[in-house]
Structure 1
């Protein structure tokens, strides 16, 4: 098992703000927005934007609501029922009505997803889709442009991703490499933004909550001369988070922070650096967006940043919980697109530049670095050119093809450093705790810069020989200068044998290109017994430049039955096999790259990433959705039950299969959205069954994992629309359940990761 890394996000230090201060600020901001909205309503005769958006959700029939057009499955517009994929859509109206704050909350309400907060020091929360684990195993797009890391470092799923800009969020399950290339192994998430309608429009939202939560966002839409549209938007969020030292007193006892002595599993450690005795674990995110468009041309710029506590998933005996101990990641994406259409032919030319950077002040303070501050650094960039052509050969046959060329540069995540990397000059650093009297300069860190390219081409045909039958076949070829060529086909057939029945049969393959961080990340430490004359080490994680991609094969069956215009039942079953799993192993006997030496010094154990074994996941879900009325009360109900089984196989050691850890085979979701007059509400319940941990239950039962209890998580929101403003309140974990998730990647003395208690938030949203 991989030795826990001391990486976690945070960035610029922000003074701690009390919940009362947040609520006061919110109150005055809400009053301001209310009076401005009322004044605007008096002088503006245009339709009530905020109220229309709320009303629209439940005035649509269920059939209309659940069958909005999608583009992500095939890169062309079609109805979800005709798309050769399982695709779910969350509209902007649903985002507002349910009070979603961030992308993690959206995904957590969808079948076959599992989102766990406080489970990873580097990026705070983790996501899995159908047992494919980690947000670096699916691609996040905005209007078809990748806004997840260009070199595939995992990012937190928080307010850094701007769902407040969404017209709808399209979630495509299963392999997407036939169109989107590397990393789309688990699926594709596409945030489609609202396009300006030509009228000047301002939308703003302010939210405040308990435990020091504050969030504000603004969108400005303008129409300039010559039919040029301009959008400016921004969002800022700060979350002081619940004080776990008061909620989970035993596991998060602050005696170590107050005395300065940390009783770790390696023995007592007394750090030299100053420590605040208070529990601090804030999260900060922001994003800024600009879009300029005219006709078929658009230019867009998005910058988003997240800063999270790098102590998550460790106890207070093993990590410092101070606000200046964080991991921060920023990403800037610039894109330009030109669409040209003539007759049955359409061309889309695009250029994308994406730039990723870890805040140089990012650091870890935990037992692996002697509780001293160990700084981290990483960068990545991508320049991409793509030409996509679409030709409607006839009303029954559509052909889509494209060529892409990508240039990547990366500086994979550094080991722990004595001080922050300078932004000026060549990147260099000194290894943490390597400075001694006989070697005051310490040991210079080894960086592994990379430059590589990828050339890709794809071709897809959609053919409908009959009204009731549609067949899609596609293939993509990629040649990567790091690991060679890959070919990924997919085939999908959609049948409508009876008017209200849709059957989909899907097969596809995908590949996961090992990111520079996965292949080349290094961490560990040296120590000296002769005051710096010589050094040695107990452990180092070191690069494997020959690491290859993981590949997957997925087969899926989907049956949807419309019982009426307002009731729909969907059954989905799938089986996915992933080969060449990447696992951290002993260098000796596997790669034999280092022979127990690094930088000229002896290391007792060197660990490297290595392709070994396979994984098999199978399962499915049953979903029932419908709308109904009780008098003037309009209701939308959605319910699903999901099942997942996962097995891991190690073919080299001939071990029998073992159960996949960090998962819950059974999940149940139910929700009810409602509206009557100017009032609306939403109630959602997620019930998770027994959770599998990383530990094995019994040596006498090979492959059987130990389990944690399941949990029930209820979220409630409600709102009232007055004029151009909507006032809303939301309760997260409304039942105030104190529970743990089995997902914990830095587990030491914590059995799983503890989750947040009940939280309450209030806000106002206005449009004028």
Structure 2
């Protein structure tokens, strides 16, 4: 397997010597280094999903948007709103850090400190940036596999009032929509978005179980996001003190959804997930804009409640579980742009530090198996980063960070990377390496289960060392882009139960390696075709067994077909047809997580079957401001199990209108 990956890595990017000039620079990415940088010059594998992608491909939830990202494996235990775990480059779901506008979102009360990718609607999101690989040297804990950054819609600078909205409905009694507006009035700007989704959903229990009753698991979701800002003064080349930007954001979200006690349907099992999030920040330009310094105060609260009343299939079990997690942070961030000199251009330094505090309170389970947590912890950190372009073809980056926690110790992390441009053959070589860590969660340190389990306050952080190298080539100008990348990661001090299951210890190690391969074809201005294939080998090196729910092969194929059509008062509009196919290979399943057809769990590891999803979205402008669209998801109505016992949602169809005014 390893030789095959390396062979593909070596031979895939080879291109003819007649390759023409490289295409126009792609999107600017902020997440990877904190400094806005063209994606071609970042020594990290990145994926950007912008507003156009979300609309043209029918992405409604964050889980929808990430399903086809190379190296990202999404496992949702049910339909929208239910738990969706993200495995980035084969790491655990708790090893992915999720941000909104650069502020951490991971739930402090979740037992592993992981993020639920099934909760978030995208009506208020302008773009999603996914950075694969270790990023703890930039953002701290949890960024072993990578970072997902949700960037909120910005106010247009040239309009005082710019409304937008969408309304759609379809099968499974689905009704969804969002409405919002933004604008700029002199020095003041604002934006507000409200969104909702209601659906009857599907039955998420595998039909092979004799206990399956066909009960659907619906979702009611709503969110409101408001942001405002003001810019005071202006920045001139000779001014020591320039403009100051002050802005803030407040967001509320609440989801109510049905759950099941797999392998059984459970009509009285419901969940509610509520989140408050906000920040207030300032940025001031100094020395003609060469130095930008700012402060940010942020806070969030996650409140999750699960209620399960007795019913014919569960006569005696009663659950009323509550999880509350809070996070408060204060950050000081700086960017210093250095003057060009000799062979060095585009040089900059980032530096700063901060403090954060998280707390968790939870009570779950039956009286005889009560799971409780009541704990809090603080952390302070400082970081330093640098990047520059050398000889107009070599981009280098470096980052160093030190986290000092009050209980699990001090964690230094680093990252180095470089991108070498080879314009003579329209190619780029990327290489990067670094370390990362995941702090033990509050539950892992201080949780209790009845009288027989106690968390371990002496746990250390989980740590990783990773490296990657890749090649990207443009063929015949913009006709095609082909890429290949090899990654390798070693994770140590993984947290697991001790032999008596009475506490947790740093006992496991893992080795993860694989390849990411991509091909984009642009044969015409109305046609783009993109294919991606990720091969992953993830193993627990302590037991020499594969890591659960990490398939060896995941692939996707998508296209954007945009022929010109004449339609009403939009004579040169384009009909957008966006098919998407996602293939997920067989994945191992852990012991005791497997269920037989009779619903009994068995202590034998096995495999979840492979599966294919085919989605199709088509959009047609009706006027210059209004676009109609149709979305059909899972056209083949496949019901494979990404996790043993849970099937993917079946076929659905949506019709809607979208407008910007």
> 1:544 pairs with 435, 456, 472, which one?
456
> 1:452 pairs with 363, 377, 398, which one?
377
> 1:584 pairs with 476, 487, 497, which one?
497
Distance in structure 2 (CA, Å) of the matches to 1:142 and 1:282:
26
Kindly state the Cα deviation for residue 357 of structure 1 after the two structures are TM-superposed. Answer: 3.1
> 1:575 pairs with 463, 488, 491, which one?
488
2:176 counterpart residue number: 215
State the Cα deviation string for residues 335-391 of structure 1 (Å, max 9, x = none): 323242433622231323222232456558799994213332323222323232323
1:292 counterpart residue number: 228
Tell me the number of residue pairs that the alignment of Structure 1 and Structure 2 aligns.
599
Distance in structure 1 (CA, Å) of the matches to 2:86 and 2:371:
31
Find out whether 1:304 has 2:253 as its counterpart.
Answer: yes
For the residue of structure 2 that corresponds to 1:106, the secondary structure is: helix
2:141 counterpart residue number: 182
The answer (yes or no) to whether the contact 1:414–1:521 under 8 Å persists in 2 is: no
> 2:164 pairs with 203, 206, 209, which one?
203
For the residue of structure 1 that corresponds to 2:280, the secondary structure is: strand
The answer (yes or no) to whether the contact 1:380–1:410 under 8 Å persists in 2 is: yes
Kindly state the Cα deviation for residue 233 of structure 1 after the two structures are TM-superposed. Answer: 0.9
Distance in structure 2 (CA, Å) of the matches to 1:215 and 1:626:
34
State the Cα deviation string for residues 668-692 of structure 1 (Å, max 9, x = none): 2111111123311111111222222
Change (3 A) 1:614 1:359: closer
2:322 counterpart residue number: 376
For the residue of structure 2 that corresponds to 1:607, the secondary structure is: coil
Kindly state the Cα deviation for residue 178 of structure 1 after the two structures are TM-superposed. Answer: 0.6
For the residue of structure 2 that corresponds to 1:74, the secondary structure is: coil
TM-score for the superposition, normalised by structure 2:
0.84
1:493 counterpart residue number: 418
For the residue of structure 2 that corresponds to 1:169, the secondary structure is: strand
Distance in structure 1 (CA, Å) of the matches to 2:615 and 2:491:
34
The answer (yes or no) to whether the contact 1:62–1:627 under 8 Å persists in 2 is: no
Kindly state the Cα deviation for residue 721 of structure 1 after the two structures are TM-superposed. Answer: 0.8
TM-score for the superposition, normalised by structure 1:
0.73
Q: Which structure shows the bigger proportion of residues in helix conformation?
A: 1
Distance in structure 1 (CA, Å) of the matches to 2:38 and 2:109:
32
Find out whether 1:230 has 2:190 as its counterpart.
Answer: yes
The answer (yes or no) to whether the contact 2:135–2:147 under 8 Å persists in 1 is: yes
CA RMSD of aligned residues (A): 2.9
1:756 counterpart residue number: 649
The answer (yes or no) to whether the contact 1:145–1:335 under 8 Å persists in 2 is: no
Find out whether 1:240 has 2:200 as its counterpart.
Answer: yes
The answer (yes or no) to whether the contact 2:109–2:361 under 8 Å persists in 1 is: no
State the Cα deviation string for residues 640-678 of structure 1 (Å, max 9, x = none): 12100011022xxxx4x1122212101221111111233
1:353 counterpart residue number: 298
The answer (yes or no) to whether the contact 1:185–1:510 under 8 Å persists in 2 is: yes
Change (3 A) 1:392 1:612: same
Q: Which structure shows the bigger proportion of residues in strand conformation?
A: 2
Distance in structure 2 (CA, Å) of the matches to 1:227 and 1:183:
38
The answer (yes or no) to whether the contact 2:409–2:460 under 8 Å persists in 1 is: no
1:130 counterpart residue number: 89
Distance in structure 1 (CA, Å) of the matches to 2:221 and 2:57:
21
Kindly state the Cα deviation for residue 475 of structure 1 after the two structures are TM-superposed. Answer: 0.7
Distance in structure 2 (CA, Å) of the matches to 1:284 and 1:174:
34
Distance in structure 1 (CA, Å) of the matches to 2:440 and 2:309:
24
> 1:432 pairs with 360, 363, 367, which one?
367
1:643 counterpart residue number: 535
Which structure 2 residues correspond to residues 52-201 of structure 1 after superposition, within 5 A? 63-64=23-24, 67-118=26-77, 124-134=83-93, 136-149=94-107, 153-158=113-118, 160-198=119-157, 199=159, 200-201=161-162
Distance in structure 2 (CA, Å) of the matches to 1:477 and 1:659:
32
2:218 counterpart residue number: 282
The answer (yes or no) to whether the contact 1:401–1:457 under 8 Å persists in 2 is: no
The answer (yes or no) to whether the contact 2:202–2:216 under 8 Å persists in 1 is: no
Show structure 2 runs of 5+ residues with no match.
1-20, 232-244, 565-573, 594-602
> 1:729 pairs with 617, 630, 633, which one?
630
2:561 counterpart residue number: 674
Distance in structure 2 (CA, Å) of the matches to 1:511 and 1:122:
28
